[in-house]
């Protein structure tokens, strides 16, 4: 379907690839700034405490220290750190610095000094006396009567019920699930638990801030949301927006962890206080303790089916914790309902969720955004239903899955913190995903031959499906600007924030395709609030469809302008002209043409006109990509080790603008999800302190740990997407964990409902199974 295109659908090299493989200075910290000071934040050693007394005098007089800030020195402006469109649907419950500490790692004070060593020494010299408060670490504890209140401050806004530590609450129902259960032949209800996982971008959060020669505050930062960050920093530091300039250089990975205004406010405050450039860079340990993580959830799911497998009711009840602050609290959890339940046609659906505060590390946006938790629960129960009914798990899914032309009404009820819009399914490749994925893993044969009946190594296969969105309907929007230069090249300026995803390349491909030029003619500048137009930023799988939509519109306007100019220059009607091969050429046989370079000269020096256009774009719908994932595992019944042998991802992403990059997105998401399934967990001790804040003790998968990966791009044509594209960045992270859990059940007959599934869990379960006989 992309064969008529010359740029879209091609595996072109990344436009920023050369500088990355040669190690050119491209990232936030790859810059020498004269007079740079080192900023450091004093983290709270306590999970819940109030500062009774804080004395910074010794720190302030330490030679080389330029500023020490506490809550007494800065404006108190309630805000959220969540990088979302204004007005953010997350509670305003956070302060630049505060007198109350709500988790181990919360900000006590900040210093700026001549060197990192001096800054660290200054932190040690700050004397703090705390009133220790009882800490709430367990999710179930948070709402009980008489439990200490974490957000007892009077000035926070948007908290659902602060007295019960309830950041958010959601309840939506379509039909009546109790009726649905009565009409069902089989009802299964199970509880699932998911852990706290961290993004672990190889580049930790880093921000450098300074005052430029116009006294404007410049913030150079590893962020996915430059424009939201500008607005939030201006509000927190009480500056006009026009006095803040946010620059996003190359980003060393984000995965949602940088959809957050995390260091920019405090770094800016230090720059204002010292009138010197200041850098704050998290160490890996600080990143674990002080950055964001995936919301842990306890999910109860109850599903009812007819004997033939027809789903009658689906009820999901979630208790989640957002940690100490409510960043993305409502929206992540809303997604757990809105993007999970509707994948199966069910007449009766109910989603209820309590999101509670605890004195634990703050959760936030993380690739998948609530879906990995929901799909782990739902796809595990779907599997159990299939086994109980004696149906093939693939067939059960095919029987119930959402189809082309369907309208998902649950999405309309569960918008991003407000009423949303119904989702119309205008493209759906899920049946093909299931078929091609099953073939790739040899599903039918392996279901027959596995598991082996003897030996300590048992193999099994499992499947799970998921869908996601492509941008937030009615909320996400983006703009793009495109300017012709006299050599026939173009400046493509987008507010979109490539964080390593390849967005700059995909957007440049869309522009080049539309203009009939080669990719090397595109000079991309992205994510700079002075030099690029607005974009909400890189999140919600929005960039290709929303920012790409803006780029396509801008390019079409430029193309129209170019054709009008060429028409005048060549004396040929506009209708008879088209752009291709870096030229404007006649469509008919008379074969007149002008190169882009000559046309640019004509425009600039004869017509005296700058060919330059911009366009904005948003969608009223969020077309879902679809995915079927299959795992083959081998379980060692003597050690409890689960080895994933093969992981197949078949994904309907619309049209792939750059198939190679799309595969890469999928493969990386799978690696993160396998870590979620088997090894990754932030562990807290009884005082709320993380006990494994290093890559040695927090186990991500390495090159040797990965299974064989098969990625199948199932292309469909999405009417709302540029060149038919939907999205790919998040969806493949949703279903590997349940696919693995289902494969483990196939292998050894045990259901695991808590992540990660550790060897000790497997051994314990096998022992219990043996004892039961």
Partner 1 sequence: MNSMQLYLHVNGELKQWTIAPGDLLLDVLRREGYFGVKRGCETGECGACTVLVNGKPINSCLMFAAQAEGCEILTIEGVEQGGKLDPLQEAFLEYGAVQCGYCTPGMILSAKALLAERPDPTEAEVREALAGNFCRCTGYLKPVEAVLAAARVYRQSRKQVRPSGARPKAERRPALHGKKR
Footprint on this chain of partner 1 (rule: CB under 8 A):
11, 13-14, 16-27, 29-30, 32, 199-204, 250-253, 255, 281, 283-284, 499-502, 660-661, 663-664, 667-672, 694-696, 700, 702-704, 706, 709
Least distance (Å) from partner 1 to the CB of residue 38? 12
Between CA 266 and CA 548 the distance in angstroms is 33
Considering the complex, state which of residue 279 and residue 315 has its C-beta at the smaller distance from partner 1: 279
Considering the complex, state which of residue 500 and residue 738 has its C-beta at the smaller distance from partner 1: 500
**For residue 335, what is the enclosing H or E element?**
helix 329-338
Burial 467-506 (b: 16+ CB within 10 A, else e): bbbbbbbbbbbbbbbbbbbeebbbbbbbbbbbbbbbbbbb
Least distance (Å) from partner 1 to the CB of residue 329? 25
Considering the complex, state which of residue 590 and residue 696 has its C-beta at the smaller distance from partner 1: 696
Considering the complex, state which of residue 30 and residue 395 has its C-beta at the smaller distance from partner 1: 30
Least distance (Å) from partner 1 to the CB of residue 608? 38
Between CA 120 and CA 286 the distance in angstroms is 13
Q: DSSP letter at 104?
A: T
Considering the complex, state which of residue 246 and residue 662 has its C-beta at the smaller distance from partner 1: 662
Would residue 591 be called left, alpha or beta, if left means φ above 0 and alpha means ψ between -120 and 50 degrees?
A: left
Between CA 673 and CA 653 the distance in angstroms is 19
Least distance (Å) from partner 1 to the CB of residue 10? 12
Sheet with 244-247: strands ordered across: 65-69, 107-113, 37-43, 278-281, 206-211, 217-221, 244-247
Least distance (Å) from partner 1 to the CB of residue 279? 12
Between CA 500 and CA 635 the distance in angstroms is 35
Using a 10 angstrom Cβ sphere, with 0-12 exposed, 13-18 middle and 19 or more buried, the burial of residue 702 is: exposed
Sheet with 457-467: strands ordered across: 457-467, 626-636, 642-654, 708-715
Considering the complex, state which of residue 210 and residue 282 has its C-beta at the smaller distance from partner 1: 282
Least distance (Å) from partner 1 to the CB of residue 699? 11
Between CA 346 and CA 338 the distance in angstroms is 13
Considering the complex, state which of residue 396 and residue 524 has its C-beta at the smaller distance from partner 1: 524
Least distance (Å) from partner 1 to the CB of residue 260? 17
Considering the complex, state which of residue 270 and residue 670 has its C-beta at the smaller distance from partner 1: 670
Least distance (Å) from partner 1 to the CB of residue 702? 5
Considering the complex, state which of residue 260 and residue 663 has its C-beta at the smaller distance from partner 1: 663
Between CA 583 and CA 591 the distance in angstroms is 12
Least distance (Å) from partner 1 to the CB of residue 662? 9
Write the DSSP string, 735-773: SHHHHHHHHHHHHHS----BSS--HHHHHHHHHHHHHH-
Least distance (Å) from partner 1 to the CB of residue 343? 24
Q: DSSP letter at 161?
A: B
Considering the complex, state which of residue 378 and residue 629 has its C-beta at the smaller distance from partner 1: 629
- Kindly give the pairing relationship between strand 423-424 and strand 407-408: antiparallel
Instruction: Return the structure tokens found at 236.
Output: 């927190």
Least distance (Å) from partner 1 to the CB of residue 23? 2
The reply to whether omega before 756 is within 30° of 0 (cis) is yes
Q: Which parts of 212-264 are beta strand (E)?
A: 217-221, 244-247
**For residue 185, what is the enclosing H or E element?**
none
Least distance (Å) from partner 1 to the CB of residue 611? 31
Considering the complex, state which of residue 184 and residue 259 has its C-beta at the smaller distance from partner 1: 259
Considering the complex, state which of residue 398 and residue 699 has its C-beta at the smaller distance from partner 1: 699
């Amino acid at each position: 379907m992309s064969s008529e295109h010359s740029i879209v659908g091609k595996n072109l090299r990344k436009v920023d690839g050369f500088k990355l493989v040669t190690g050119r200075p491209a990232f936030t910290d790859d810059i020498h700034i004269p007079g740079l000071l080192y900023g450091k934040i004093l983290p709270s050693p306590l999970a819940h405490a109030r500062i009774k007394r804080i004395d910074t005098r010794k720190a302030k007089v330490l030679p080389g220290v330029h500023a020490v800030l506490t809550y007494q020195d800065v404006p108190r402006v309630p805000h959220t750190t969540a990088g979302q469109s204004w007005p953010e649907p997350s509670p305003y419950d956070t302060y630049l610095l505060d007198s109350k500490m709500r988790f181990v790692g919360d900000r006590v004070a900040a210093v700026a000094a001549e060197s990192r060593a001096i800054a660290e020494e200054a932190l040690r010299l700050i004397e703090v006396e705390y009133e220790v408060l009882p800490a709430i670490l367990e999710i179930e504890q948070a709402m009980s009567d008489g439990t200490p209140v974490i957000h007892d401050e009077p000035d926070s806004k948007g908290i659902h019920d602060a007295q019960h530590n309830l950041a958010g609450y959601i309840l939506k129902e379509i039909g009546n699930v109790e009726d649905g259960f009565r009409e069902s032949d089989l009802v299964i209800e199970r509880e699932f638990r998911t852990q706290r996982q961290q993004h672990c971008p190889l580049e930790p959060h880093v921000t450098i801030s300074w005052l430029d020669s116009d006294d404007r505050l410049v913030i150079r930062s590893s962020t996915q949301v430059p424009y939201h960050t500008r607005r939030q920093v201006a509000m927190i530091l009480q500056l006009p927006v026009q006095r803040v300039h946010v620059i996003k250089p190359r980003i060393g990975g984000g995965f949602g962890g940088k959809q957050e205004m995390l260091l920019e406010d405090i770094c800016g405050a230090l720059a204002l206080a010292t009138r010197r450039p200041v850098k704050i860079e998290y160490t890996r340990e600080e990143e674990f303790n002080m950055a964001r993580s995936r919301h842990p959830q306890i999910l109860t799911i109850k599903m009812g089916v007819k004997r033939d497998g027809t789903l009658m009711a689906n009820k999901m009840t979630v208790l989640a914790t957002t940690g100490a602050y409510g960043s993305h609290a409502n929206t992540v959890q809303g997604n757990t309902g809105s993007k999970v339940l509707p994948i199966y046609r069910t007449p009766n659906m109910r989603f209820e969720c309590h999101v509670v505060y605890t004195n634990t590390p703050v959760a936030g946006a993380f690739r998948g955004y609530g879906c990995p938790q929901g799909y782990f629960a739902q796809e595990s129960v779907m599997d159990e239903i299939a086994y109980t009914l004696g149906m093939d798990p693939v067939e059960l899914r095919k029987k119930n899955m959402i189809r082309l032309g369907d309208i998902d009404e649950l999405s309309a009820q569960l918008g991003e913190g407000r009423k949303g819009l119904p989702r119309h399914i205008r493209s759906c490749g899920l049946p093909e995903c299931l078929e091609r994925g099953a073939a790739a893993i040899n599903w039918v044969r392996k279901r027959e031959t596995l598991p082996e009946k003897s030996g300590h190594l048992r193999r099994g296969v499992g499947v799970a499906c998921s869908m996601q969105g492509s941008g937030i309907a009615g909320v996400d929007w983006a703009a793009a600007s495109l300017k012709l230069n006299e050599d026939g090249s173009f400046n493509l300026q987008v507010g979109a924030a490539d964080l390593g995803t390849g967005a700059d390349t995909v957007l440049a491909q869309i522009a080049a395709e539309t203009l009939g030029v080669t990719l090397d003619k595109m000079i991309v500048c992205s994510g700079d609030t002075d030099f690029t137009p607005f974009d909400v930023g890189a999140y919600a799988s929005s960039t290709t469809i929303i920012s790409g939509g803006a780029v396509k519109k801008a390019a079409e306007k430029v193309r129209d302008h170019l054709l009008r100019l060429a028409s005048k220059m060549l004396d040929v009607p506009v209708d008879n002209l088209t752009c291709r091969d870096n030229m404007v050429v006649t469509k008919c046989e008379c074969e007149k043409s002008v190169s882009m370079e000559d046309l640019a000269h004509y425009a600039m020096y004869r017509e005296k006109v700058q060919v330059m256009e911009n366009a904005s774009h948003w969608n009223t719908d969020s077309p879902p990509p679809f995915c079927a994932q299959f795992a083959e595992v081998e379980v060692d019944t003597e050690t409890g080790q689960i080895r994933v042998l093969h992981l197949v991802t078949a994904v309907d992403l619309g049209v792939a603008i750059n198939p190679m990059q799309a595969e890469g997105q999928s493969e990386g998401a799978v690696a993160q999800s396998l870590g979620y399934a088997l090894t990754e967990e932030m562990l807290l001790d009884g005082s709320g302190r993380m006990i494994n804040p290093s890559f040695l003790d927090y186990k991500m998968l390495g090159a040797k740990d990965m299974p064989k990966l098969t990625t199948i791009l199932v292309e469909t044509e999405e009417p709302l997407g540029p060149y038919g594209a939907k999205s790919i960045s998040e969806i493949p992270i949703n279903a590997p964990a349940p696919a693995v859990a289902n494969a483990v059940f196939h292998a050894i007959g045990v259901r695991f409902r808590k992540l990660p599934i550790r060897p000790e869990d497997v051994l314990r379960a096998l022992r219990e199974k043996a004892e039961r006989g």
